[in-house]
Amino acid sequence: MKRIYPLCLVLLLVVSTSLLADNDRNASTAENLPATSREFLNTHFRNTHISYVEIDKYLFWISGYEVILVDGTEVNFARNGEWTEVERKKEAVPAVIIPKKITAYIKENFPQQMVLAIEKEFKKWEIKLNNGMELSFNKKEEIIEVDAD
């Protein structure tokens, strides 16, 4: 009986570790994206195709999606299908997804620059310009930080 207890403990540890190791990304197709995500991609990136879709999982539920387009654009979505981040390599992100006050700030202060990445976080917006500058805005779309790379 004394030997069974440690054996059960080791078995439990192995099983729980293998379950936690399943918290990863799984390759998928566009059909498995939420309708909101597919609509966003069709609206803003209709001239390029999807190269790869990853479903981010945590334990037994989906935590988000990562989509990589043929042109290298990366779009992340929350589990509800709303976009959380768009990152491009050489082209600007679609202007219509950038809030108007942020667009106005960039046009006024960085008129020759384009937005290569935008991220919606819980309390702020993160913007990366093609000159390497990173801008942070609060939810009221007011500038809170400028970081020169």
> How many domains are contained in the chain?
2
* Domain of residue 113, CATH code: 3.40.1420.30
Better pLDDT: 87 or 4: 87
Q: Are residues 27 and 84 in the same domain?
A: yes
pLDDT on residue 141: 95
Q: Are residues 25 and 85 in the same domain?
A: yes
Mean pLDDT of the chain: 87
Per-residue confidence band for 76, with pLDDT thresholds at 50, 70 and 90: very high
pLDDT in tens, 6-54: 655 555 554 454 444 444 556 567 888 999 999 999 999 999 999 999 9
Closest CA to 78 of 99, 55, 50: 55
pLDDT mean over 117-136: 96
Q: Are residues 104 and 70 in the same domain?
A: no
- The residue among 44, 64, 89 that closes a domain is 89
Query: What's the domain range around 45?
Result: 21-89
Residue 78 falls inside a structural domain: yes
Q: How far apart are CA 121 and CA 123, in angstroms?
A: 6
Q: Are residues 99 and 83 in the same domain?
A: no
Is residue 103's pLDDT more than 60? yes
pLDDT mean over 118-140: 96
Q: Are residues 63 and 104 in the same domain?
A: no
Q: Are residues 85 and 26 in the same domain?
A: yes
Q: Are residues 133 and 104 in the same domain?
A: yes
Residue 11 falls inside a structural domain: no
Torsion angles phi and psi, residue 70, rounded to 5: -60, -35
Beta-bridge mates of residue 78: 64
Burial of 40 (0-12, 13-18, 19+ CB in 10 A): buried
- The residue among 89, 108, 133 that closes a domain is 89
Residue 79 falls inside a structural domain: yes
Q: Are residues 27 and 63 in the same domain?
A: yes
